[in-house]
Structure 1
Amino acid sequence: MAGNDHQARPAPALAGDDPRDIGAGSTPSLILDHLRDGIALQDLSGRIEWINPACERMFGWPLEEVRGRKPQEFALPPAMRPAPENITAFRYDPSGGIFRRLHVVRNIRRDGSEFWNQLSHAMIDMGPREGDKRVVVTCRDITDQVRTEAALHRAKNDLEHAAHHDDLTGLANRTLLSAFLDEGQVRARLGDGCIGVLQLDIDKFKEINDTLGHAAGDATLRHVAAALAANCGRDDLACRTGGDEFLLVCLGVASQEALLARAELLRRAVAAPLDWHGQEIAVRISVGASRPDGATGTGTGEALIRQADQALYAAKEGGRGRVVVYTGHLGRRCSERQQMARDLRAALSQGQFRVHLQPQITPEDRRIAGCEALLRWQHPERGLLAPAAFMEVAESAALLSEIDQASTLLALDALKRLRDAGFDGLRLSLNVSSAILSAADYPALLHWALQARNLPPESVCVEILETALLDGGPAGIRTAVRRLRRMGVRVALDDFGTGYAGLAHLTAFEIDTIKLDRTLTGRLGHDSRSRAITRAVIRLCNSLGMTTVAEGVETQVELDFLRRARCPLAQGYTLARPMEVEAMIGWLRDAPAARLPGPGGHIPDARTRRP
């Protein structure tokens, strides 16, 4: 009913006792009394002459108490009321714009509650003289509408914020990052070289999640985000780009030294103690840094981010907790890795993988008890590659599970070929990574593959790395091991003795076979401590009903020691090299009754076998 602009905003008017009043009970009077909108009549100075019942209800004031007053005196919240002299001086301008548009003002009721009022003003002539002009003000309470519009506006802002920010940390997401990189100031900094990118992720974040739970993991992510936000300049952008990966775009960074200083500040901020329910979480990050460099052709923000990501990979590869700056040499290495990842995908689709078999032999009487299936990649340009040449790239490209599946099926095909050739007493060992054992339904896959080839489960031994028991999460691995053993499949612990808590795993997991790593067997010829440890492990496994396999046996001295120590099985180059299945069949046929010559005799090798 009232605005606070003494020149432009109206005050609702009220009609009073005037000879020209509408007669009570008349049709116009009935209409005005029953309107939902408030109607007020004012003179040109804004004094109220009459209001209808709806206006009385709207403001809580009866006509008798407001007649002759100006609405600015009581209808505006105290903080919005004009000065008394301005209220006194107020007068409607008949030619003013107030009569040509709606106005929305915040008014106050007699009880102190505020509401939003939509006002319209009309000038009417009630006589021939200038003083006969009156202002009719129509008032409509639109508080619900305003609140709805405000809620919609807030919801729109919330949706806009959610579309451009990470829910957990509140940092920018990739969508906002993409828009930010298109802004003029970023392009300008790319042009003058005053920009840098820091790409970082949390070292051993999976371990925090697995040991302390996802809530602790979330707290860690928020801790890093807070450190990032605290070190984010006014024109910078801090993002969470996914998982435990973060990014900081630094504008105004004119040198590599300045960018590295920012990275160091960030590392120190993240390293501040994080208390998690009384337990301190040590948080560390690895950082990749990149700046524009004409020599490397950095012309876009996206290119800088790719380079920072490659530098981050190098930082983690070099031992974590480091800051690495992108260089052209690093870029070439990353390009080679990316090409290898593409080649690996092609290898999976084109069937380029092979399995070679390495015999496992009893040192005591030189009988062949089984063989291990070893994966090889027949690269179209680089030739035959062992897993050491490509497994790291496969892991970073998330291809381990697919490669494991392919390797398993190829190995079982080889086992069926051996059995079809008459060698049905051999057991095949095959390697499985924690990626497929803990994440995929590997026992079901193996069960199906065995049935499809009519192979008995007891003819297979699944080898899992000792490190998988740590990295893959004990619960998932333990479940898979139990399912495999219930199927009748044997389970071996590979690379035993590589520095992890191996003895603890002998009781924590249902293991049938222990494979002694080359780090032990390779020292048997000259190190008394290694010999003592090897004897002790063999005795312990024998007492627990487990089979011990010594791998990497490369000398006759090592083989003789294992025979004296009563090691059940051995494999290595001194016995036989890995070979394709057809070569394996021929090699077996060259050893009558599957027995090899005695000590000091010639041991057939795939390279010297008769065609």
Structure 2
Amino acid sequence: MYKKEFKLCSNNNESKLYEEVKNGIKRREFKFVYQPKYNIKNGKLIGAEALIRWHKSNAVIIYPDSFVEKLEDNNLIYLIDYYTIEECLRKIYYWNNIYKDNLVPISINLSKSTLMRVDFIDTLEALIGIYNIDLKYLEFEITEREYVDYSIDNINNKIDKVRSMGIKVSLDDFGTGNLNLSFSMNIDIDTIKIDRSLINKIGQNKKIDYLLRFMIDLANKNNINLVAEGIETEEQIKFLINTGYELGQGYYFSKPINVDVFEKKYLLHKND
């Protein structure tokens, strides 16, 4: 049973919201599906994004758009972020021991407020110390949606510490949030992910087509990778390839899939 409309603690009480999420984590109600990322020119798998789902005890599956924003508004999103980081490290450690030759980088969403927490680097280092994986297989996708009142220098300082560990950092959902193009290009990141809301307008809005051409040129000059999200049609693929894009994800290639399917399809057998 799936449900997108879901109310956490209808009275919006922060302490009750905290307890509800902590109990959900304790009961391991938060699970993950994986959406593959591809080289769109040759169809080769180049990574996957871990997407969280809340499996409630009443068999309802809650999508993140029903709880993430509320957790951000109440400064509690770090609970989910820290849980996600540990679960991803645990999974990569497991996969490395079984599917080492076929392992690909796994990316996870990370809220800017979590990144900027005083305890973030210490917490991250502690988790890394437990699982001891090659950190080239971990990537953080920093969400653009959430607004935080920090300077570019402060954000870059945190990102530099993360990248110095060998973890790649992406800016997620470009085109939907509070950051403008100039700000995005001044953040020290490896990748910008173009939101599906822009990709869906390919061939329908000349301004969007121009922006996507401008973005690939600007990204190339700044040594930043671009990933097109939400690719669904042949027309979009042709435009992106002809424009110079190489990386993407979306239903055209694969919907998010559960861990068993991901392992059998991509990790059990070598994907050349």
> Could you tell me which residue of structure 2 aligns to residue 461 of structure 1?
139
Instruction: Give the distance between the partners of 1:446 and 1:490, measured in 2 at CA.
Output: 14
Contact 2:101/2:270 (<8 A) preserved: no
Give 1:593 deviation, angstroms: 4.2
1:510 maps onto 2:185 in alignment: no
Q: 1:538 aligns with which of 216, 241, 253?
A: 216
- How many residue pairs get aligned? The number is 262
> The residue matched to 1:562 in structure 2 has which SS?
helix
Q: 1:383 aligns with which of 48, 55, 60?
A: 60
Contact 1:364/1:566 (<8 A) preserved: no
1:579 maps onto 2:257 in alignment: yes
Give 1:365 deviation, angstroms: 0.6
Which structure 2 residues correspond to residues 300-319 of structure 1 after superposition, within 5 A?
A: none
1:372 maps onto 2:59 in alignment: no
Greater radius of gyration (CA):
1
> Could you tell me which residue of structure 2 aligns to residue 105 of structure 1?
none
Report % sequence identity.
Answer: 26
Instruction: Give the distance between the partners of 1:333 and 1:454, measured in 2 at CA.
Output: 35
* Distance verdict in 2 for CA 1:431–1:562, change over 3 Å: same
* Distance verdict in 2 for CA 1:345–1:446, change over 3 Å: closer
Instruction: Give the distance between the partners of 1:381 and 1:541, measured in 2 at CA.
Output: 46
Which structure 2 residues correspond to residues 20-59 of structure 1 after superposition, within 5 A?
A: none
Instruction: Give the distance between the partners of 1:433 and 1:556, measured in 2 at CA.
Output: 32
> Could you tell me which residue of structure 1 aligns to residue 172 of structure 2?
494
Contact 2:144/2:171 (<8 A) preserved: yes
> The residue matched to 2:133 in structure 1 has which SS?
coil
TM-score (norm 2): 0.85
Give 1:501 deviation, angstroms: 4.1
* Distance verdict in 2 for CA 1:507–1:518, change over 3 Å: closer
1:436 maps onto 2:117 in alignment: no
> Could you tell me which residue of structure 2 aligns to residue 335 of structure 1?
10
Give 1:465 deviation, angstroms: 1.9
> Could you tell me which residue of structure 2 aligns to residue 135 of structure 1?
none
1:484 maps onto 2:162 in alignment: yes
TM-score (norm 1): 0.40
1:426 maps onto 2:117 in alignment: no
Residue identity opposite 2:84 in structure 1: S
Contact 2:56/2:62 (<8 A) preserved: yes
Contact 1:514/1:548 (<8 A) preserved: yes
Instruction: Give the distance between the partners of 2:178 and 2:21, measured in 1 at CA.
Output: 30
> The residue matched to 1:473 in structure 2 has which SS?
coil
Instruction: Give the distance between the partners of 1:490 and 1:587, measured in 2 at CA.
Output: 25
Residue identity opposite 2:70 in structure 1: V
> Could you tell me which residue of structure 1 aligns to residue 4 of structure 2?
none
> The residue matched to 1:519 in structure 2 has which SS?
helix
* Distance verdict in 2 for CA 1:443–1:560, change over 3 Å: farther
> The residue matched to 1:461 in structure 2 has which SS?
strand
Which structure 2 residues correspond to residues 198-347 of structure 1 after superposition, within 5 A?
A: 335=10, 341=17, 342-347=19-24
Contact 2:102/2:270 (<8 A) preserved: no
Give 1:460 deviation, angstroms: 1.6
CA deviation string 1:184-242 (max 9, x = no partner): xxxxxxxxxxxxxxxxxxxxxxxxxxxxxxxxxxxxxxxxxxxxxxxxxxxxxxxxxxx
> Could you tell me which residue of structure 1 aligns to residue 227 of structure 2?
549
> The residue matched to 1:464 in structure 2 has which SS?
strand
CA deviation string 1:296-319 (max 9, x = no partner): xxxxxxxxxxxxxxxxxxxxxxxx
* Distance verdict in 2 for CA 1:467–1:569, change over 3 Å: same
Instruction: Give the distance between the partners of 2:36 and 2:174, measured in 1 at CA.
Output: 19
Which structure 2 residues correspond to residues 595-606 of structure 1 after superposition, within 5 A?
A: 595=272
Q: 1:473 aligns with which of 150, 162, 174?
A: 150
> The residue matched to 1:335 in structure 2 has which SS?
coil
> Could you tell me which residue of structure 2 aligns to residue 349 of structure 1?
26
Contact 2:111/2:142 (<8 A) preserved: yes
Instruction: Give the distance between the partners of 2:113 and 2:178, measured in 1 at CA.
Output: 19
Residue identity opposite 1:571 in structure 2: Q
* Distance verdict in 2 for CA 1:581–1:417, change over 3 Å: farther
Give 1:582 deviation, angstroms: 2.2
> The residue matched to 2:116 in structure 1 has which SS?
helix
> Could you tell me which residue of structure 2 aligns to residue 447 of structure 1?
125
Give 1:499 deviation, angstroms: 5.6
> The residue matched to 2:238 in structure 1 has which SS?
helix
> Could you tell me which residue of structure 2 aligns to residue 401 of structure 1?
78
Instruction: Give the distance between the partners of 2:89 and 2:224, measured in 1 at CA.
Output: 24
> Could you tell me which residue of structure 2 aligns to residue 282 of structure 1?
none
Contact 1:462/1:492 (<8 A) preserved: yes
Give 1:445 deviation, angstroms: 2.5
> Could you tell me which residue of structure 2 aligns to residue 238 of structure 1?
none
Give 1:424 deviation, angstroms: 4.6
Contact 1:344/1:394 (<8 A) preserved: no
Residue identity opposite 2:10 in structure 1: S
Instruction: Give the distance between the partners of 1:571 and 1:363, measured in 2 at CA.
Output: 8
Which structure 2 residues correspond to residues 67-78 of structure 1 after superposition, within 5 A?
A: none
Give 1:390 deviation, angstroms: 1.2
CA deviation string 1:538-560 (max 9, x = no partner): 12112211111111112222122
Instruction: Give the distance between the partners of 1:497 and 1:396, measured in 2 at CA.
Output: 21
1:416 maps onto 2:93 in alignment: yes
Residue identity opposite 2:40 in structure 1: P
Contact 1:438/1:472 (<8 A) preserved: no
Give 1:508 deviation, angstroms: 2.5
CA deviation string 1:22-66 (max 9, x = no partner): xxxxxxxxxxxxxxxxxxxxxxxxxxxxxxxxxxxxxxxxxxxxx
Instruction: Give the distance between the partners of 1:489 and 1:576, measured in 2 at CA.
Output: 25
CA deviation string 1:551-608 (max 9, x = no partner): 1112222122222222121011221111232221112158x6425xxxxxxxxxxxxx
Contact 2:169/2:191 (<8 A) preserved: yes
> The residue matched to 1:462 in structure 2 has which SS?
strand
Contact 1:496/1:515 (<8 A) preserved: yes
Give 1:537 deviation, angstroms: 0.5
Instruction: Give the distance between the partners of 2:194 and 2:202, measured in 1 at CA.
Output: 12
Instruction: Give the distance between the partners of 1:407 and 1:333, measured in 2 at CA.
Output: 19
Give 1:449 deviation, angstroms: 2.4
